[in-house]
Structures are given as C-alpha cells and as structure tokens.
Amino acid sequence: MKIEGYWLASGILGVTGSIMQRVSEAGADAIVTKSIGRTPRKGHAGPILTTSHGGVINAVGLTNPGIEAFADEISVLKDAGIPVILSVFGLSVREIVEVVNIGYTFHPDAIELNLSCPHAEIAQIAHNPELTYEYVRAVKKAVDCQVFAKLTPNASDYVSVGKSAEKAGADAIVAINTVRAMRIDIQQQRPVLGNKVGGLSGPPIFPIAVRCVYDLYNALEIPIIGVGGVTTWKDAIEMHLAGASAIQVGTALLNGMQVFEEIKSGIREYLKEMGYSHVSEIIGIAGRK
Ligand SMILES: Cc1cc2nc3c(=O)[nH]c(=O)nc-3n(C[C@H](O)[C@H](O)[C@H](O)COP(=O)(O)O)c2cc1C
C-alpha cells in the first residue's frame, strides 16, 4: 500500500468492522485496527481512562478478542475496499509469528507491530534494538506484505531501535505510541488508574511526536508514519515537515470524526497558498533548513 494520507491510529474505535468502516467514510484514508494478540484478553481493571492537560491517559491493557475472532471485522473493511492495517502484538517472538500467520490469511494491506504499549508486558520490546530486530525479522520472514514497526518515545535511544527495525526489513516506522504517565487523586491520595500507570496521548504529546519523527526521518531511509497529538491541519503540516509520509490520528477523534476532512481541506489550502502541487514536496524539509 502507498504510505500516504491520514489514517485511523490503533486502539481508537478500531475494534469492530462497522465502526472502522464509519471512520473510513468520514475521511480516513486507511484504518489501523486495535492491536490484536493470540488469545482473548480482558485488559486492566478500571478506571482505564482519565483526562489530563488537554490529553488522555489510558491503561486499557490491550483488551482484544484474539486473532481468530477478528477475521470478520477485517472482512467488513476488505469487502468495502477500505485499506486496512492489522495491528498485532505478541508476548514473545514465537507468539507474534503465530498471530501474524493467522492474521495474514485475512489479507490485510499491511501489518503494524505494536512493540511499545507502555502499560502492558510488551512495553520493553522497543526499548531494545536487538529484541526489536528479532521481532521484525521473524515477522518479515513469515509474511509477504508490508510490515510497520511502532516505536515508543519512552526509549531514550529510539533512533537505534528504529535503525534495527529498518535493518530487519521493516517497510516503515510508526512513531509514536503513548507516553508513560500517571495522575494521582488528591482526595483518595492514590493513583487514578486501576493500573496506576498509563499512556498519555493527544495534544500534550504532539511536540514529543514531532521530535521523534524528525530524528527518525533524518537517521533512516524507510518512510516514517507520524502519530501523536495531531488534532488540526496545522499539526499535520508540522508532522509532514518533520518527516512524516503518512499521519495517523487517534485521540482527536474524541471530538468527532470530521477531523479527517478538516485536516485534508486545510492541507489542500496550505499547499495551494505555498505553491506546492503535492504534499510529498514538503515531507522532511524542516531537516534541510
Ligand atoms: C484508548 C487508547 C487505546 C490505544 N490502543 C492502542 C493499541 O491497541 N495499539 C497501539 O499500537 N496503540 C494504541 N494506542 C496508541 C495510539 O495508537 C497512538 O499511538 C497514540 O494515542 C498517540 O496518538 P494520538 O495522540 O493521536 O492519540 C491507544 C491509544 C488510546 C488513547
């Protein structure tokens, strides 16, 4: 699939085929599903969500129905001709290969590897270049479609992790997953979330995502898919200037699905006013100035 346009990010409304189809009808150019694992998983005890400083902290805990039960949801999208990226996770290399072997039979357009959810057991994978290499390499050997590696800003050396993913054959990097965060209830004097720690998303993480996309774009050859706090068309332009070929939108959808059309029309206007004919002309140019 072409790595361009504005996509639904993993985990936000990406659980049932019919809701994902609605997001596509609202203007998303491709849909990334919720991350799916080998077996059904309940997730963390509540509360699993709280708001903070204009963003959201979640500790959902990778709740999902298991890969076998997900075939029907993907086929809703495939039947409607909607590009779909299956997001998967695995608690070991062997397990993620099992998941993609099954998921591949659903014919997704690409597979996104969640190597980095900050409030689940898989949090550490994308902190480690060698482990990241093993995961990406094993999946690339198992399937014959594009594979994207999703990284975390919680790793101090995410550029080395990105380089490892590239060396292992990743077709693109997705940056970033949520930022490890927590809130404390001052009346109860204890953490708000059931899992205590969660992942921050939305506007507060936007500058962090821009930094990561910029660093990765300037160190790697493969395309970067930018995600993190994108809420307006101006954010999307900034993300492209930093180096994102495609952009995913998650938390901004809490304010409505019109966000995709707003981003796309704002970008069309910007390109026209600035004298560009295609968005590809602005990707990564901030790093050349
Ligand atoms: C409620 C919620 C659930 C999420 N679930 C997943 C998930 O299953 N897999 C994944 O890779 N990322 C997941 N994410 C992270 C998003 O895909 C995205 O990387 C992050 O939220 C930053 O983008 P945003 O600020 O546009 O939301 C989740 C985020 C939220 C808010």
Q: What pLDDT, on a 0 to 100 scale, did the predictor assign at position 117?
A: 77
Kindly state the percentage of the chain with pLDDT values over 70: 100
Residue by residue, DSSP assigns 26-93 as TT-SEEEPPPB-SS-B--PPSP-EEEETTEEEE-----B--GGGGHHHHHHHHHTT--EEEEE--SSH
With contact defined as beta carbons under 8 Å apart, do 136 and 170 qualify? Answer: yes
- pTM, two decimals, is 0.98
Determine phi and psi for 236, rounding to 5 degrees. Answer: -65, -40
Q: Return all residues near 257 (Cβ < 8 A) that are at least 6 apart.
A: 22, 23, 26, 27
Give 104-123 pLDDT, tens digit per residue. Answer: 999 999 999 999 877 777 77
Q: What pLDDT, on a 0 to 100 scale, did the predictor assign at position 142?
A: 98
Give 251 Cα–ligand 1 centroid separation in angstroms.
7
Kindly state the percentage of the chain with pLDDT values over 90: 94
Which residue, by CA, sits nearest to atom 2 of ligand 1? 11
Say yes or no: CB of residue 114 within 6 Å of ligand 1.
yes
Q: Where are the domains of the chain?
A: 5-288
For residue 48, which atom of ligand 1 is closest to its CA?
1
Give 130-188 pLDDT, tens digit per residue. Answer: 999 999 999 999 999 999 999 999 999 999 999 999 999 999 999 999 999 999 999 99
Domain 5-288: CATH class, spelled out? alpha beta
Say yes or no: CB of residue 225 within 6 Å of ligand 1.
no
Q: What pLDDT, on a 0 to 100 scale, did the predictor assign at position 119?
A: 74
Which residue, by CA, sits nearest to atom 14 of ligand 1? 11
Say yes or no: CB of residue 231 within 6 Å of ligand 1.
no
Question: Strands 179-181 and 198-201, how do they pair?
Answer: antiparallel
Residue by residue, DSSP assigns 245-283 as EEEEE-GGGGG-TTHHHHHHHHHHHHHHHHT-SSGGGGT
User: pLDDT tier at 14 (50, 70, 90 boundaries)?
Assistant: confident
Indicate which residue of 28, 62, 88, 117 is catalytic. Answer: 117
Burial of 221 (0-12, 13-18, 19+ CB in 10 A): exposed
- Determine the Cα–Cα distance for residues 1 and 83; give it in Å rounded to an integer: 8
Q: Which two tokens stand for residue 206?
A: 């936007």
Q: What pLDDT, on a 0 to 100 scale, did the predictor assign at position 59?
A: 95
For residue 116, which atom of ligand 1 is closest to its CA?
11
Among 178, 210, 212, 224, the mutation site with the greatest number of ligand 1 atoms within 8 A of its Cβ is: 178
With contact defined as beta carbons under 8 Å apart, do 141 and 111 qualify? Answer: no
Q: Which two tokens stand for residue 132?
A: 């990241």
Q: What pLDDT, on a 0 to 100 scale, did the predictor assign at position 248?
A: 98
User: pLDDT tier at 15 (50, 70, 90 boundaries)?
Assistant: confident
Per the annotation, the verdict on 117 as an active-site residue is: yes
Say yes or no: CB of residue 253 within 6 Å of ligand 1.
no
User: pLDDT tier at 238 (50, 70, 90 boundaries)?
Assistant: very high
Say yes or no: CB of residue 50 within 6 Å of ligand 1.
no
Say yes or no: CB of residue 236 within 6 Å of ligand 1.
no
- Which residues are paired to 7 by β-bridges? 30, 248
For residue 34, which atom of ligand 1 is closest to its CA?
8
Give 29-80 pLDDT, tens digit per residue. Answer: 999 999 999 999 999 999 999 999 999 999 998 899 999 999 999 999 999 9
Q: What is the CA radius of gyration of the chain?
A: 18
Q: What is the mean pLDDT of the chain?
A: 96
Q: What pLDDT, on a 0 to 100 scale, did the predictor assign at position 288?
A: 83
Burial 33-69 (b: 16+ CB within 10 A, else e): bbbbbbeebebbeebbebeeeebbbbbbbbbbbebee
Rounded average pLDDT over 223-246: 98
Give the closest residue to 61 by CA, choosing from 78, 77, 40: 40
